[in-house]
């Protein structure tokens, strides 16, 4: 009886993959040897659970499926957790850098969608972000764009994390200065 339950659980797990993955780039590379050229493939994959975890990996092999498999495994090992506001957008505007790549990511109101190009769009979709405006400045290299995006996302902090770091309450952090300063009110 227990064995049947284990089989059913395993089957359900296999049917619903824990992570979604997106192939961002595939590149044919060659190595010149004495007899000519040997061709191989390099794959860039972004993996995420669409609930706030994302990672990227790169893999090289003689065949495309093997390169994708290697990249996916590496991406699963290098995942980072990003706090999301309302499960759909960023808490604050951030900037990420890697090499010549610079990306600017801005929080957006509901219904905006993902306004971002190529590799950055793949990262946001795998992360589970639904509303964001992003711009890539500098390089168009997908590897550096993804690294810059993840650099910025790793700097993302929620109000709860900021409050804990400062030793305050979340309500104190989120409180806005709506009341004018006393000197300005008298003048």
Question: What's residue 12's pLDDT?
Answer: 57
| SS3 call for 135 | strand
Question: What's residue 7's pLDDT?
Answer: 62
């309500």: which residue's tokens?
171
Which tens digits make up the pLDDT trace of 41-53?
A: 999 999 999 888 9
69-73, 113-117, 121-125, 183-187, range with the lowest pLDDT: 183-187
Question: What's residue 180's pLDDT?
Answer: 53
Contacts of 116 (CB under 8 A, 6+ apart): 105, 124, 132, 133, 134, 135, 136
Per-residue b or e along 56-79, where b marks 16 or more CB atoms closer than 10 Å to that residue's CB:
bbbbebeeeeebbebbbebbbeeb
Question: What's residue 17's pLDDT?
Answer: 62
pLDDT-based confidence at residue 161 (cuts at 50, 70, 90): confident
Question: What's residue 18's pLDDT?
Answer: 85
pLDDT value at 136 more than 50: yes
Question: What's residue 54's pLDDT?
Answer: 93
Domains belonging to the chain, first-starting first, are 2-174 (3.30.230.10)
- Whole-model pTM above 0.85? no
Tokens of 64: 């495309």
pLDDT value at 182 more than 50: yes
Across the chain, what does the average pLDDT equal?
86
pLDDT-based confidence at residue 106 (cuts at 50, 70, 90): very high
């Amino acid at each position: 009886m227990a064995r049947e339950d284990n089989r059913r659980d395993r089957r359900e797990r296999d049917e619903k993959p824990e992570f979604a993955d997106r192939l961002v780039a595939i590149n044919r590379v060659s190595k010149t040897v004495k007899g000519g050229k040997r061709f191989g493939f390099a794959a860039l994959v972004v993996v995420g659970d669409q609930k706030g975890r994302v990672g990227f990996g790169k893999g090289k092999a003689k065949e495309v499926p093997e390169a994708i498999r290697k990249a996916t495994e590496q991406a699963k090992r290098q995942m980072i957790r990003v706090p999301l506001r309302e499960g759909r957008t960023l808490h604050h505007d951030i900037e990420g850098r890697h090499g010549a790549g610079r990306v600017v990511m801005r929080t957006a109101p509901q219904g905006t969608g993902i306004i971002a190009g190529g590799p950055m769009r793949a990262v946001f979709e795998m992360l589970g972000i639904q509303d964001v405006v992003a711009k890539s400045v500098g390089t168009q290299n997908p590897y550096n764009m993804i690294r810059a995006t993840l650099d910025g996302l790793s700097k993302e902090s929620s109000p709860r994390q900021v409050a804990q770091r400062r030793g305050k309450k979340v309500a104190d952090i989120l409180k806005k200065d709506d009341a004018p300063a006393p000197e300005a009110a008298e003048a």
